Every structure is written in structure tokens, then in C-alpha cells.
A = this chain, B = another copy of it.
Amino acid sequence: MSKQQMTEMLKGTLEGVVLAIVALRPAYGYEITARLRDQGFSDIVEGTVYAVLVRIEQRGLVDVRKVPSEKGPPRKVYSLNARGREHLAEYWRTWNSLAERIERLRSDIEQSHAQGEE
């Protein structure tokens, strides 16, 4: 798939993805970026992740605690709080609703093609 298309699709979904990763277990920025890459989101720039983290912290969806690291500056460990869990639930609902409609559209097209090819 094209890089640019993916970039645009990520808008509005990335935040939820990050919340989901933190929901799995608490994590710090660098680690979250790494997990994103593991999960196949290899195209995401580090700076973007930090921007998301700042945003979700400001909105009070996560709790933060500083943990010293052996190497490098202290880590900021994010964990999902009650509000974040509610927000994530909302995110899944929105995603479901969108995905359902898009899948329906796609199957409509496939049907019309099948008809046209008889």
C-alpha cells in the first residue's frame, strides 16, 4: 500500500492504537515506538508517537510516572487510567462502526462486479 495513503488513514486511528498498546501493559515512549514496529506499524516516525503521548496525557487518559533508566534519561512510563479505558472503549465502537460500513461498501462492489462478469 502507498505510504501517503497510510499516513492519511492513520489520522484518527493512531491515537487509539497507542492507547491500546498502553492498555496491554504500561510502557514508555521509546518502548511504545518499538512495539508499534513489532505490530507492523513500521512506517510511524518517533516524533509522531511523542506527540500522541503528550496529547493523551494532557487529556488525562493516562497516568505517568518517571522511572530512572540505567542508560539514558529517565523513562516516562504511561499507564491507562479509568478515563483512558472509557476512551478506548469509545474508540473501538467508532472503529467498528466505520469498518462495518466500509466492508459493506466493498462487498457491494464485489457483488456488482460478479454480476457484470456473468
Residues of the B chain whose Cβ atoms lie less than 8 Å from the Cβ of A6? 94, 97-98
Residues of the B chain whose Cβ atoms lie less than 8 Å from the Cβ of A97? 1, 6, 40
Is A2 an interface residue, CB under 8 A from the partner?
yes
Chain B residue at minimal CB-CB distance from A20? B105
Residues from 1 to 52 in A contacting B, C-beta threshold 8 Å: 1-2, 5-13, 15-17, 20-21, 23-25, 39-41
Is A54 an interface residue, CB under 8 A from the partner?
no
Residues of the B chain whose Cβ atoms lie less than 8 Å from the Cβ of A13? 9, 98, 102
Is A101 an interface residue, CB under 8 A from the partner?
yes
User: Which of B9, B23, B94, B108 lies in contact with A95, CB distance below 8 A?
Assistant: B9
Is A106 an interface residue, CB under 8 A from the partner?
yes
Is A82 an interface residue, CB under 8 A from the partner?
no
